[in-house]
Amino acid sequence: MVPRSIAACQTATSDPLRSSEREPAWKRDLAEAYRDAADLLAALGLRPEAIPDLDPAESGFRMLVPRAFAALMTPGDPRDPLLRQVLPLGAERLTVTGFTRDPVGDTSADLGHGLLRKYTGRALLIVTGGCAVHCRYCFRRHFPYTALGQTPDRTAAAVASIAADPGISEVILSGGDPLMLDDDRLGALLERLHEIPHLNRLRIHSRLPVVLPSRVTETLCRRLSGSPLASVLVIHANHPSELGADAADALRRLRHADVTLLNQSVLLRGVNDAAQTLGALSERLFECGVLPYYLHQLDPVEGAAHFAVPDTQALQLGEALRDRLPGYLVPRLVRELPGRGAKTPLNDAARIGSPFL
């Protein structure tokens, strides 16, 4: 167990809150993110013609890529696995049977106020629709954030619903990305949750420590470290190249703040569909103090079918990882099926009638 310490956060040279009078660095970094495919490609020394299926119209899902994440891409490589995750393609416009706008049944699990109840003992709270990066395979790219997302009144009602249900022991903050809330807004929400006596754990799902490491501020570390709830942060990295020096520093600071760090990945064609890549990802995560948690088969969201890896290949990859890695570095290969109370191991999917096997 790493001892609780805020020193790593306080001494980090990348801390964005050096002055209360200045805008946090992570917000400045986000404001400077790439929002145009041509600009991103130019920065990588690529011409648009190098991407034959490039979709300048972005299929109604605009591009957003932090410069820190783009800096990890290989210049001149149109097949870079990080670039592939964020570049809008014409393939997103294809209609593919089985790929829908609500692939995991979020809307049917909504209890109102952006509070989703899918799993026993856990409640998932959609705290924002914003993200720092727009991943083209995002399972919530069509989510009705306006109707189901958060406002102050909805947040208050959601917290009241959690407080009224003693069967809930863990709250999962999701989005969008919950770390898009600034430290004050996030802190205010955490204080409300801390007052609920039957809560034991706080879980946050976020891609920001990977794609926008400057978001890991001294204040964020301090609030998570000082929480009476056990804090778990599930990051989202799909490829070892995503975990550069800045992300590694951010993750180590979180771990020194006594935050349990897990990772979930999505199996993506052309990105990480090789045992060597997935094995290197697990090793790099461990170097950063993060344990692999889930390797998800792609949620069949409309616009992402070109990322799909056949289940037979996915199962072979899972077996290859078990052969080459210690058990604690092998993520659980799962699929989320609507209406089920837990993620389904992929090798059990056929037994319960998964349509993808």
Cα Dmax for the chain:
58
Q: Is 138 annotated as a binding residue?
A: yes
Pair 331, 263: CB distance under 8 Å: yes
User: Cα–Cα distances in Å, from 8 out to 12, 216, 310?
Assistant: 6, 11, 43
15-46: b (≥16 Cβ within 10 Å) or e = bbeeeeeeebbbbebbeebbeebeebbeebeb
Please give the Cα distance from 69 to 65 (Å, whole number).
7
Token pair listed for 305: 């079918």
Per-residue 3-state assignment (H helix, E strand, C coil) for the chain = CCCCCCHHHHHCCCCCCCCCCCCCHHHHHHHCCECCHHHHHHHCCCCHHHCCCECCCHHHCCCCECHHHHCCCCCCCCCCHHHHHHCCEHHHHCCCCCCECCCCCHHHHECCCCEECCCCCEEEEECCCCCCCCCCCCCCCCCCHHHHCCCHHHHHHHHHHHHCCCCCCEEEEECCCHHHCCHHHHHHHHHHHHCCCCCCEEEEEECHHHHCHHHCCHHHHHHHHCCCCEEEEEECCCCHHHCCHHHHHHHHHHHHCCCEEEEEEECCCCCCCCHHHHHHHHHHHHHCCCEEEEEECCCCECCCHHHCCCHHHHHHHHHHHHHHCCHHHCCEEEECCCCCCCCEEHHHCCCCCCCCC
Question: Residues within the annotated binding site for [4Fe-4S] cluster?
Answer: 131, 135, 138
Question: Residues within the annotated binding site?
Answer: 131, 135, 138
